[in-house]
Structure 1
């Protein structure tokens, strides 16, 4: 039997696809629960390796971390290919949020192999940081995580409009502050972009203190911007919280309907 025939036979093996689907996607089955636990532990271990890799300089420890990451990446590669293989809609999975996370989390090792010599060392160390994206996969094991992601998706338009409003506001506030402080000697507000930067830092209550007004009017205006910043911070929190409450109500309604249908059957 040729390789092509073996490949066609593998792709047409529906019993194997169903079995893999039950294990990988079926979190309500014993094997599925076991697979989820193993996958969660591997994700957590991979994230710890990424963190430790930025701390340790001992060649032996770094080498051990690299070997462990290679083994984990091979496991994640198998998981990604298995999901594509057994998924009823592989294209939909590949372009889904978690499908993209799965792909970019295994890319560092393979990209590193394609970059030889000194470039390999420099680029690989920076590309490895992509592995931290695996932490998003932990959401797939938590109902609360799904609820949060769904709430963010539902509130995306509102949040986008809010940030657009904030962008317009900081441009206006920065321009006004430049008009107030720009003409003063030794002023820090040397141009409008710098003043916009000050408005962003002030409204977000970060307050680096590298740019400060010197005139009484400028300080009064800065105080108003600070107070405005406190009120603005609460807006996106309220938007997402409202959507989370709605999502929780929808989940309760779905569960009630499902239990009702099961009771009738």
Structure 2
């Protein structure tokens, strides 16, 4: 018996070799994603941006509904919880947010509605599922998320501690604590715009330490992701060799 839902899943989610329908769908959605980003390169709104937004958003809405409809195949179990679980997955959230910008077309313009247009940026993230390399990277990040979270917490703690120290040591340099946080963040990333520069010896010492810590901060997540990525590539090569 023909399983319509399974076929829909195969077309939108699984790209089998020789499946022309699935390949055509991938090309259609990739094109829609790229075209959907065009309004971000234009100032203001015009009839063309409205047409692009409506057309691409309709495609994204159909894609979103189809993916929710086949969520039980995606999640691997037949239960209503599969649909709920899928809706809250990162890619499903990005899919939903990519549809949001079209709302401004049908509602009076306001600053809040205007901000919705910025959600077009989330359409870039939809490209992840259509690139094998991006899928691998996404899987790698998912596997090492605990390590990356630990690094993020470490960085955040250091930024706050260094900001509090320099804020107390250089009270005349910073108008408020947010300025100190800004300085600490810029220093630890080794960008150093120079718009805020400590003048006391201790303040400059903290700046130098922040720059040195910044180099380690960049190396830590890079090393974690690179090691996990190479392990994933090696695993896939071994699988194909078998």
TM range (shorter): 0.7 to 0.9
Count of residues in Structure 1 that have an aligned counterpart in Structure 2: 231
TM-score, scaled relative to structure 2? 0.82
Give the superposition deviation at 1:156: 1.3
Cα separation, 2, equivalents of 1:196 and 1:118? 35
Distance 1:97 1:225, change over 3 A: closer
Give the superposition deviation at 1:240: 1.1
Give the superposition deviation at 1:26: 3.0
Q: State yes or no: 1:38 paired with 2:28.
A: yes
SS at the partner of 1:242? Answer: helix
SS at the partner of 2:99? Answer: helix
Cα separation, 2, equivalents of 1:145 and 1:135? 12
Q: How does 1:129-208 map to 2 (within 5 A)?
A: 129-182=118-171, 187-189=172-174, 194-208=179-193
TM-score, scaled relative to structure 1? 0.76
SS at the partner of 1:88? Answer: helix
User: Which residues of structure 2 form unaligned runs of 5+?
Assistant: 74-81
Partner of 2:219 in structure 1?
Answer: 234
The Cα offsets for residues 124-169 of structure 1, whole Å up to 9 and x where unpaired, read as: 4321221221111111111111111111112211111112222222
Partner of 1:250 in structure 2?
Answer: 235
- How big is the alpha-carbon RMSD for the aligned residues of Structure 1 and Structure 2? 2.6
Distance 1:16 1:234, change over 3 A: same
Cα separation, 2, equivalents of 1:96 and 1:169? 31
Match of 1:95 among 68, 80, 88: 88
Cα separation, 2, equivalents of 1:102 and 1:155? 24
Partner of 1:215 in structure 2?
Answer: 200
Match of 1:106 among 89, 92, 99: 99
Partner of 2:68 in structure 1?
Answer: 84
The Cα offsets for residues 174-225 of structure 1, whole Å up to 9 and x where unpaired, read as: 343345434xxxx304666543432222111222323212233433442233
- Larger Rg, first or second structure (1 or 2): 1
- Preserved contact between residue 189 and residue 214 of structure 2 (Cα < 8 Å): yes
Partner of 2:10 in structure 1?
Answer: 22
- Preserved contact between residue 112 and residue 123 of structure 1 (Cα < 8 Å): no
